[in-house]
């Protein structure tokens, strides 16, 4: 076929709904024919009928009891003497005029009546017609109703989807939020203004229009917003930033306008926007600009927050864990006047959070929440809630009545390291892992500036972890970010302890790739010493900065912050630090080889050695640094 020839049109297949509708209509239209006449019924009527002459003969023989004459149908229904009471009468077709039949009936004293079936036939016909008309009418009404619903949804497409409560009955107060006291104190002003605005307006103060809650995931930003709503007792709107953005142009801006319109009608009130970074990202970022629809939504939000018309009595609370991606116009005074940092809690905050989540759990009296708080640096409120829940699950699986310290310790290891697997059998692999982990643990114990050991184990974990050596981290140093040069070098040396033990015991040719992750940590720490902290002889200069750009294409062409010559010097210095620390680790392992073998034999037998027991064994062979001795006393 040539390309310009016209193809015959293809027949479109009917949809399933159309096919069902047609079949239903056809069957209903055929129903009157089935009801109105049936061949089987006609044959039965012929078998039960008499001829006109036979009827006259039976009347003369006095065999007829009663006759019903139907002049409309020209039929006589004959009831014979002696027939069963429930038997059907015999039918006789009548003539136009039947004087001889009437005379015979009167002469032989036969009871007869005149009946008419016209009314019953008309009623049956009407009923049959309604049987197929009514379903069609119902089907039409169903289609009309669905069309009306679709049109109403189209009209409401631009309406705000915010959940609204006249009084936010969240069930959460400030007393239920622990570990973030500074944030609670700042937000208490918002609650006081909503309850007693004259206290601020009397001195000319203006409450912030917007409060931005900033912090990593799980620190309690949404929980804090619920507590504000529960304390204030004012109308409360809650919506997610992603609910503003749609694929249709103008819908997001329309929803913003509708949200603030409802808020003005119910002022004073609170608007909570969760994950505002979904709609408040920087405009024009990335290759080829930004998303037009999202930018229109953001522009409308900026106008509603601080435009020509004021929003008196409306306080906006937003939450995000990515403040670096928000547009600068959104963060200026007059929109989000105040940023409240909701950071990971410190040790005291973790203890308060644990007390809150322990209210509804059966915890053994021997459990010290203070010890749990000390062992969980960096845990957020959500992590601590999950920790106690995992401990409760382990308690139920082990059929115990209350949560003990063992379940909490196992839950911490499960969340930080991974799920515990079956222990290894006594083999070369098990002893190799034992020497590797003992190398880490021994250096963590002997190095004066390293964090003290918590425990070392060779029980494998999910994710390919054959064993691990766990330290009690210096929380003050980690939180402040004030790392000393001695602490970093000792941590690099401790990290290389596993590889150093393998090399000293089995030889360089038998060293495994189990230290691959250790080498990444070493390279990162050594590079920061050289390029960011100025802890080398290259000078007190910051040669690199942390890259916080999150938009594709912002730095599409990488900008070198130093020359090629300086890059060579940096690589050389990083390598020198790593090699120096590795040699120091091998020296310590070599000088304490008998102690290493003793610890390996013990861990192969026990599979886990706690930090206190480990330090006591090390103290029998060598003198511990003063810092490690204090760690032993604090643990006991």
Q: Which residues are catalytic?
A: 437
Q: How far apart are CA 30 and CA 21, in angstroms?
A: 14
3-state class of 145 per DSSP?
helix
Structure tokens at 9: 């049109």
Token reading at 143: 């289609």
Please identify which residue in the block is written with the tokens 């009084």: 167
CA-atom Rg of the chain in angstroms: 45
Is the CA virtual torsion 286, 291, 296, 297 positive or negative? Answer: negative
Two structure tokens written together for 534: 């100025």
| Distances, alpha carbon 83 to alpha carbons 41, 64, 78, 101, 502, in Å | 21, 10, 11, 22, 113
CB-CB contact of 318 with 298 (8 Å)? no
**What's the CA gap between 630 and 475, in Å, rounded?**
16
In this structure, are residues 266 and 255 in contact, taking their beta carbons and an 8 Å threshold? no
- Which residues, 6 or more positions from 70, have their beta carbon under 8 angstroms from its beta carbon? 76, 77, 114, 115, 116, 117
Taking the CA atoms of residue 118, residue 124, residue 125 and residue 131 in that order, the dihedral angle to the nearest 10 degrees is: 170
Residue 610 carries which DSSP code? E
Please say whether the beta carbons of 317 and 329 come within 8 A. no
Q: Which helix (H) or strand (E) holds 58?
A: helix 52-60
Q: Return the structure tokens found at 198.
A: 């004259």
| Alpha-carbon span 83 to 304, nearest angstrom | 94
Between the CA of residue 308 and those of 127, 302, 304, 305, 332, what are the distances in Å? 69, 11, 9, 10, 16
The Cβ-side half-sphere exposure at 606, using a 13 Å CA radius, reads 14
DSSP character string of 453-518:
EEEEE---BTTTB--EEEE---HHHHHHT---HHHHHHHHHHHTHHHHHHHHHH-GGG--GGGHHH
Taking the C-alpha atoms of residue 605 and residue 342, their distance in angstroms, rounded to an integer, is 46
- Asked if 596 contacts 439 with a C-beta cutoff of 8 angstroms, the reply is yes
d(CA 78, CA 68): 7
Please tell me what DSSP assigns to residue 552.
T
């Amino acid at each position: 076929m040539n390309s310009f020839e016209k193809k015959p049109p293809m027949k479109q297949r009917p949809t399933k709904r159309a096919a069902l509708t047609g079949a239903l209509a056809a069957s209903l239209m055929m129903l009157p024919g089935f009801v109105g006449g049936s061949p089987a019924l006609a044959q039965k009527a012929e078998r039960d009928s008499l001829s006109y002459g036979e009827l006259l003969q039976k009347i003369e023989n006095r065999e007829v009891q009663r006759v019903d004459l139907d002049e409309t149908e020209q039929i006589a229904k004959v009831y014979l003497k002696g027939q069963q009471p429930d038997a059907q009468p015999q039918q006789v077709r009548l003539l136009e005029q039947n004087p001889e039949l009437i005379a015979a009936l009167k002469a032989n004293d036969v009871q007869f009546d005149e009946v008419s079936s016209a009314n019953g036939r008309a009623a049956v016909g009407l009923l049959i017609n309604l049987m197929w008309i009514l379903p069609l009418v119902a089907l039409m009404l169903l289609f009309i109703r669905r069309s009306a619903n679709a049109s109403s949804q189209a009209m409401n497409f631009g309406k705000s989807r915010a959940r609204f409560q006249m009084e936010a009955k969240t069930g959460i107060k400030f007393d239920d939020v622990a570990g973030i006291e500074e944030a609670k104190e700042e937000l208490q002003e918002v609650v006081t203004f909503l309850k007693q605005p004259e206290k601020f307006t009397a001195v000319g103060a203006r409450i912030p229009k917007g409060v931005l809650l900033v912090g990593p995931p799980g620190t309690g930003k949404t929980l804090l917003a619920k507590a504000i709503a529960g304390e204030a007792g004012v109308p409360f709107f809650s919506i997610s930033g992603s609910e503003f953005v749609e694929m249709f142009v103008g819908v997001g801006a329309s929803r913003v306008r509708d949200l603030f319109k409802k808020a003005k009608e119910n002022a004073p009130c609170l608007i909570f926007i969760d994950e505002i970074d979904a709609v408040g990202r920087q405009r024009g970022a990335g290759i080829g600009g930004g998303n037009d629809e999202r930018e229109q939504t953001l522009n409308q939000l900026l106008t509603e927050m601080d435009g020509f018309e004021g929003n008196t009595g409306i306080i906006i609370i937003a939450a995000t864990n990515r403040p670096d991606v928000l547009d600068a116009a959104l963060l200026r005074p007059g929109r989000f006047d105040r940023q409240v940092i909701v950071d990971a809690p410190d040790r005291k905050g973790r203890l308060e959070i644990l007390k809150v989540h322990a209210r509804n759990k059966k915890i053994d009296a021997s459990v010290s929440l203070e010890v749990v708080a000390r062992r969980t640096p960096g845990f957020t409120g959500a992590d601590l809630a999950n920790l106690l829940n995992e401990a409760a699950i382990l308690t139920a699986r082990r059929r115990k009545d209350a949560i003990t310290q063992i379940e909490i310790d196992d839950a911490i290891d499960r969340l930080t390291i991974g799920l515990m697997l079956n222990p290894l059998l006594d083999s070369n692999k098990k002893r190799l892992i034992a020497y590797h982990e003992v190398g880490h643990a021994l250096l963590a114990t002997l190095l004066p500036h390293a964090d003290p050991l918590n425990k070392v184990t060779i029980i494998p974990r999910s994710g390919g972890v054959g064993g691990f050596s766990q330290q009690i981290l210096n929380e003050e140093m980690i939180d402040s970010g004030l790392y000393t040069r001695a602490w970093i070098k000792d941590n690099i040396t401790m990290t290389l302890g596993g590889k150093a033990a393998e090399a000293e015991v089995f030889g360089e040719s038998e060293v495994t790739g189990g230290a691959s992750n250790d080498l990444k940590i070493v390279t990162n720490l050594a590079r920061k010493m050289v390029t960011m902290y100025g802890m080398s002889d290259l000078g007190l200069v910051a040669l690199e900065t942390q890259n916080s750009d999150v938009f594709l294409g912002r730095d599409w062409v990488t900008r070198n912050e130093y020359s090629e010559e300086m890059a060579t010097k940096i690589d050389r210095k990083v390598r020198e630090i790593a090699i120096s620390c590795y040699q120091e680790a091998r020296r310590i392992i070599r000088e304490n080889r008998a102690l290493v073998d003793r610890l390996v034999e013990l861990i192969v037998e026990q599979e886990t050695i706690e930090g206190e027991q480990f330090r006591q064994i090390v103290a029998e062979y060598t003198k511990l640094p003063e810092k490690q001795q204090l760690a032993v006393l604090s643990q006991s």
